[in-house]
Amino acid sequence: MAVEFTTSCLVDAITLFRYYKKLGDGAIAQLSDQQLFAVLDPEMNSVAIIVKHMNGNMRSRWQGFPDADGESPSRNRDGEFVDPPASRTELMAHWEDGWRFVFNALEPLSDADLSRRVTIRGEGHSVTQAIHRQLAHYAYHVGQIVFLAKHLQSAAWNSLSVPRNRSTEFNKLVEEGKASQR
């Protein structure tokens, strides 16, 4: 899925990170405060825990990027899966703070930086590899958030993309310039 045409891997990655943030924003906004903490079974994470984990990962991976090791010694990964943020306000602060680390690290870079060497957990990566690693990781977790929100909202769910059984109608609106493919 190309969100916009570009030949720049960096521009594409930033655009895709923004797309996944927007999907997460849309899913979280549809949930009640109580639903943010709901789990489907004891082995699952709530949206609040997923956001807390993403924040910890984003802080660790992007703070000091590309010069610092992407696994901060102060990170407590296991602690990210207990004691969720106490309220929607706190959860949203974690969400926005984490994404701020991502964009503050990526926006100053240029395509010339993509071949630079960075480390994550002591393993060498090119900047491109590190970006792809995190893009896949965040897409995975945003997918979990969307899945949980859609399940919890059930019939009240408002689609974040093409609504079920409405592809033909949607494509016609796109052709007429009345809808965006994003």
User: Rounded to whole angstroms, what are the CA distances from 75 to 35, 55, 60, 146?
Assistant: 27, 11, 7, 26
Helix 127-153 crosses helix 47-62 at what angle (to 10 degrees)? 170
What is the pTM (predicted TM-score) of this model? 0.89
pLDDT in tens, 50-85: 999 999 999 999 999 999 888 888 899 999 999 999
Q: List, in order of start, the domains of the chain with CATH numbers.
A: 9-175 (1.20.120.450)
Determine the distance from the C-alpha atom of residue 160 to the mean position of all C-alpha atoms in its chain, rounded to a whole number.
Answer: 14
pLDDT in tens, 123-157: 999 999 999 999 999 999 999 999 999 999 999 99
* Helices and strands, number each (H, E), in the chain: 5, 2
CA 50 – CA 1 distance, rounded (Å): 24
